[in-house]
Each structure stands twice: as C-alpha cells, then as structure tokens.
Amino acid sequence: MPRSPRADPTTLPYRRGVGIVLFNREGHVFVATRIDTPGDAWQMPQGGIDRGERPRNAALRELAEETGIRQAEILAESREWIPYDLPKHLIGKAWRGRFRGQLQKWFALAFTGEDADIDLRASKHPEFSRWRWVPLAETPSLIVPFKRTLYQRLVEEFAPYAVPR
C-alpha cells in the first residue's frame, strides 16, 4: 500500500542499488533519457539489487537490461555507498512509497563493444528513449537536480577513467 506523500522521509529506509559509469574508447560516458521523465534530464544506467545478488553482478545485469550492452568490463567501484534522497513530491509515490531514496554502489566500466551493440529496446520494459556519449564532467549539469551532488562525487572519483584508451 502506498505511503502518504506526507510521510516523514527520515523514517523510510533507502533502497539498495547500483549505478554504472560506462566509458567508451574516447573517455566519454553513456547517458540516456528516461521514457517516464519529461524534459531533457539525462542519467546513467542504474537500478536495484535483487535479493542475494552481489552489487557487481547487479551492475552488469542492469546495464544489459537497460541498454542491451553485454560488452563491458568493470574497471573500478566507488569507495563508498552513495545515498540520495528523493524530492518530497516523489516520496510516497516512487517504489510504492517504501523508500526515501537510494543507497548506491557505483561502478566504472569500459565499453568494449560498438555503438551498434546498444539497444534501448532490449528489455521487455524499456526505460530509456534516447542516448548519447558525453564528457564525464558534464554529467552533473544534465541530471535531475536532486541527484547532482551524487554525480559530482562520481566525476571526482572516476575522473581517472575519463581518458581515451
């Protein structure tokens, strides 16, 4: 049963999830727009961790589910789990009202395939409508405001991978 939008967010737990910073050969990162989010907000692939699933496995699964990409190698993982809180108007609506935000483990991955391998319709329930490659440093300005601090942390931590290889 959904919680009221007036629920005290401090009493709700965080949903555990993963995020993927996927670097191409030029050192740029994959971003996409969500089908269910109006406007021009871009994000990197991310999603929940299934019961009993290891975060590394969840990252590879989410990447394949959301983008069709299976040609990637893990380069690094974030030093810490990184939280973000939903804005008040989404608490009680997102994730059936069970969570206040997410606590995520992020992974830097090297894309070893070709752009033609990217298929946003690979899933039964597509999440993204379009995608592109951008410099890592630009990602905080592309994301929805409530995730900008998280993306700034990712820029700082994964900057060493944002180079041509």
How many separate domains does the chain show? 1
Check: CB of residue 159 under 8 Å from CB of residue 78: no
Could you tell me if residue 71 is left (phi over 0), alpha (psi between -120 and 50 degrees) or otherwise beta? Answer: beta
Domain contains 7: no
Tokens of 18: 């993963």
CA–CA dist 90, 83 (Å, integer): 16
Domain contains 99: yes
The pLDDT score that the predictor gives to residue 158 is: 98
- How crowded is residue 48: how many other Cβ atoms within 10 Å of its Cβ? 16
The pTM score is 0.90
Domain contains 8: no
Along the 165 residues of the chain, how does pLDDT read in single tens digits?
Answer: 454 445 566 678 888 999 999 999 999 999 999 998 878 889 999 999 999 999 999 999 999 999 999 999 999 999 999 999 988 877 776 776 787 889 999 999 999 999 999 999 988 899 999 999 999 999 999 999 999 999 999 999 999 999 999
Domain contains 87: yes
Domain contains 1: no
The pLDDT score that the predictor gives to residue 1 is: 44
Give the domain CATH number at 108.
Answer: 3.90.79.10
Query: Considering only CA atoms, which of 165, 139, 159, 145 is closest in space to residue 78?
Result: 159
Domain contains 43: yes
The pLDDT score that the predictor gives to residue 39 is: 80
Domain contains 5: no
Domain contains 92: yes
Q: Where in the chain does DSSP place strands (E)?
A: 14-23, 29-34, 42-43, 46-48, 72-77, 82-85, 101-111, 128-134
Query: Considering only CA atoms, which of 74, 85, 55 is closest in space to residue 112?
Result: 74
The residue range of the domain holding 20 is 13-161
Query: Considering only CA atoms, which of 33, 39, 28 is closest in space to residue 138?
Result: 28
Tokens of 81: 């789990």
DSSP 100: S
